[in-house]
Amino acid sequence: MAFRPTTTHPNPAIAARSALFAISIPLRRALASLAGAFLVVALAVTTSATAQETAPVPPLPIPSPEDSFSQAPAPAGAPGVPPAPQPEDAPEPSLDFLLNSPTMTPLPRDALPYAPAATPQTGKPGDPSETTLYMMARLTDNGPLIDNGLVWRVYSQTINDEGHLDLIAKSKGGDAEFQLDPGTYLVYTAYGHAGVTTKVTVARGQTSKTVVFNAGGIKLNGVVSKTVPLDIAKVRFDIYEMDFNTRGERKLVARNVLPGKIVPLNAGTYHVVSRYGRVNATVRADIKVEAGKLTEATIYHNAAEVTLKLVNEFGGEAIANTAWSVLTASGDSVVEGNGAFPSYVLTAGKYTVVARNQGRLFSREFEVKPGRNAEVEVRTKDGNAAGLALDTD
């Protein structure tokens, strides 16, 4: 909007200055108002920034896997604490923690150490007025409660028409709570390869029982010739019970156990079979597992890995499409295979290898020495001549 002066000065220059002054009055007022608003906004921003610097919001803690065993969980239903998820397959807890933690005063078998957790069936805490069975477990009488990795199964005491016990309820994780009708039940609790069956009578109200496994752990490793470590990809352990059944066989407890893996077991003596490779490098040992202790056992193998090659000249290229047979010194078959250079782990001793290629047979004798991997070359020009065993280490 243009501003028009109400009077006209006789001097044109003075009149122009007066008009310019009059125009600048509202402009100055607008600028002053704008500056004031800017100052208010700046003060608000500064105040907000200052408040954040003086009172920062702490980040939420991120628990590590170890914290789940060293810190007590937040109580269910606490303000700001979301319900913990219940995985289908809970991770196996640290057996080292359970075996090495300070001893604890054992609780009475019918005592509740804290409020029951959510029930596996309903996800809600049990009503004390109803019939509730609350189960806990320890490795030993004085050990800490196991808070993960347990499998609970509740069976009826009577046998059904099919000759089996009816499965009433099951749960995974740590302690378990079941809503059951009054009566007597058989509760099977498993932790790794340790297991125990408990007979429980449930009455009106709440019944609490603590299961004690009387278990320990075993950790197995293998070496060659007492000094050379084995290739863990080629070593597996099978664990059996000591007693034989009517067919003269031992009951298998754990199969294909990896070296260095801790296996929970009931206290007792076990028959361990260590397999290095897939042929004849097998060692057996009886190992005792004590309750509340971790037993570490190292099994020694007198064996080595050999690679078979059919060549025209020693050190030459392996000939493809070759069939192989490895025999003991007495002529018993050990292993057969096909390929240009198959590899086998064999126990120490003397052997004969036979190579078949294009209808022709070639053989030689060789010796396996503990811990000395080697290439066994059979030369076509020599026929049945004894070739060389070249160390590959």
What is the predicted pLDDT for the residue at 142?
A: 84
What is the predicted pLDDT for the residue at 7?
A: 41
Instruction: Quote the CA–CA distance of 293 and 235 in Å, as a whole number.
Output: 24
Domain with CATH 2.60.40.1120 in the chain: 130-213
User: CA end-to-end span of the chain, whole Å?
Assistant: 98
Cα within 13 Å of Cα(317), Cβ side: 3
More confident residue, 77 or 307: 307
Evaluate if residue 119 carries a pLDDT over 90.
no
Q: 32 falls in which pLDDT band (50, 70, 90)?
A: very low
What is the predicted pLDDT for the residue at 304?
A: 94
Read off the pLDDT of residues 89-114 as tens digits, 9 standing for 90 and up.
Answer: 334 445 554 555 444 444 444 444 44
More confident residue, 28 or 330: 330
Instruction: Quote the CA–CA distance of 69 and 15 in Å, as a whole number.
Output: 90
Lowest model confidence (mean pLDDT) among 285-299, 302-316, 372-386: 372-386
Q: 65 falls in which pLDDT band (50, 70, 90)?
A: very low
Select, from the ranges 72-86, 158-172, 339-353, the one with the highest average predicted confidence (pLDDT).
339-353
Cα of 61 vs its chain's centroid, Å: 23
What is the predicted pLDDT for the residue at 393?
A: 52
Instruction: Quote the CA–CA distance of 287 and 268 in Å, as a whole number.
Output: 9
DSSP for 23-69, written as a single string: HHHHHHHHHHHHHHHHHHHHHHHHHHHHHHHHSPPPPPP---TTHHH
Q: 129 falls in which pLDDT band (50, 70, 90)?
A: low
Lowest model confidence (mean pLDDT) among 103-107, 228-232, 306-310: 103-107
Average pLDDT, the chain: 74
Domain with CATH 2.60.40.10 in the chain: 304-379
Q: DSSP letter for 95, please.
A: H
The whole-model pTM stands at 0.65
* CATH 3.20.20 for the 216-301 domain, yes or no: no
Read off the pLDDT of residues 81-91 as tens digits, 9 standing for 90 and up.
Answer: 333 333 333 34
CATH homologous superfamily for 304-379?
A: Immunoglobulins (2.60.40.10)
Instruction: Quote the CA–CA distance of 294 and 287 in Å, as a whole number.
Output: 12
Structural fold of domain 130-213? Immunoglobulin-like (2.60.40)
Measured CA distances, 28 to 6, 34, 39 (Å): 21, 10, 16
More confident residue, 364 or 85: 364
Average pLDDT over residues 312-329: 94
Evaluate if residue 336 carries a pLDDT over 60.
yes
Q: 159 falls in which pLDDT band (50, 70, 90)?
A: confident
Average pLDDT over residues 12-26: 42
